[in-house]
Amino acid sequence: MKPLYILGSGTMAGALGCGLKDNYEVFIVGRNAKKLAEFKQKGFQTLLYDEFKAENKDIILAFKPYALDEVAQRLTGKARVIISVLANKDFKDLQAAFKAQNFVLAMPNTAAFYKASTTPFVCENENYKDEILAILQAFGKAFELENARLMSAAMAISGCAPAFLAVVAESIANGGVYEGLKRELSLSLTQSLFESFTKLLEHEHPAIIKEKICSPGGVTIKGVKILEDNAVRSAFYQAISTSATR
């Protein structure tokens, strides 16, 4: 298996590592020996920054964005490919900090853990494009953007909206409890609802799904009106726009 180096040992590094480890020999590179020991127990290879040389390596940056310069100072050599999942860091930031034959901006989500990430990406050039796509597709679906300016909006959907949907899921499950369902049953119904909805969304536009469920004068359209009265649609527009703002 080809080696792949993930810099960072937090939530996203763990999710990407788990998604990738069936297809790549994953090395977790970090600064904290205790955290690296936990990754080792899970079957990953690990390295401290001082032990890592970037020369000709394929690397994923998955540490906090503010640590970019600090981490860059610890690395030597020109990498083959650097894939950055750092929020709000653009090609200029990466080029100023690192040397690589191709830089990639990518914005996965933590469903990478289950190989189910939604990952928009944009490459600096065409070098190793097929191999880059294979890496991104190993942990879910990858969507190439026309240019880097679109990344903020795409990131708001792929990276931030899972948290918005978590609020929706929690609210629906709580609503069931409010109406007398046992907590566990209400949550199980909600989990299954999301599975059902995913299947429907694969085949139809959301507006059509809604129209098909709302019978005239029925209970569903009454519930939809409550959501419209409470400006839920507008709240989602604003949430996406706010999250897409640097």
Out of 4, 5, 6, 8, name the contact with ligand NAP by CB under 6 A.
8
Interacting span for ligand NAP (CB under 6 A) from 52-60, 106-114, 141-149, 223-231: 106-114
The least CB distance from residue 213 to ligand NAP, in Å, is: 31
Entry field: residues in the chain: 246
> Is 120 buried (19+), middle (13-18) or exposed (0-12) by CB count in 10 A?
buried
Out of 110, 137, 152, 188, name the contact with ligand NAP by CB under 6 A.
110
Smallest Cα–Cα separation from 7: which of 54, 41, 40? 54
> Is 226 buried (19+), middle (13-18) or exposed (0-12) by CB count in 10 A?
exposed
Interacting span for ligand NAP (CB under 6 A) from 64-72, 192-200, 201-209, 221-229: 64-72
Residues whose CB falls within 8 Å of the CB of residue 103, separated by 6 or more in sequence, listed in order: 81, 82, 84, 91, 94, 95, 123, 124
Element (H, E) at 2: strand 2-7
- The whole-angstrom separation of Cα 73 and Cα 75 is 6
Nearer to ligand NAP, 7 or 186 (CB): 7
Nearer to ligand NAP, 9 or 243 (CB): 9
Interacting span for ligand NAP (CB under 6 A) from 62-70, 119-127, 129-137, 187-195: 62-70
Site track 152-191 with ligand NAP (rule: CB under 6 A), x = hit:
-------x--------------------------------
State which of positions 17-46 bind ligand NAP (CB under 6 A).
30-32, 35
Interface with ligand NAP, residue 116, by CB under 6 A: no
The least CB distance from residue 35 to ligand NAP, in Å, is: 5
Strands (E), 65-218: 79-84, 100-106, 117-123, 140-144
Out of 1, 2, 3, 10, name the contact with ligand NAP by CB under 6 A.
10
Interface with ligand NAP, residue 122, by CB under 6 A: no
Count of residues touching ligand NAP (by CB under 6 A): 25
Q: Order the strands of the 100-106 sheet from edge to edge.
A: 45-48, 24-30, 2-7, 58-61, 79-84, 100-106, 117-123, 140-144
> Is 22 buried (19+), middle (13-18) or exposed (0-12) by CB count in 10 A?
exposed
Q: At what angle do helices 206-213 and 183-203 cross, to 10 degrees?
A: 120
Interface with ligand NAP, residue 107, by CB under 6 A: yes
Interacting span for ligand NAP (CB under 6 A) from 4-12, 51-59, 132-140, 199-207: 4-12
* Contact yes or no for 215/197 (Cβ under 8 A): no
Nearer to ligand NAP, 63 or 186 (CB): 63
Q: Which residues bind ligand NAP (CB under 6 A)?
A: 8-13, 30-32, 35, 62-65, 67, 70-71, 85-87, 107-110, 159
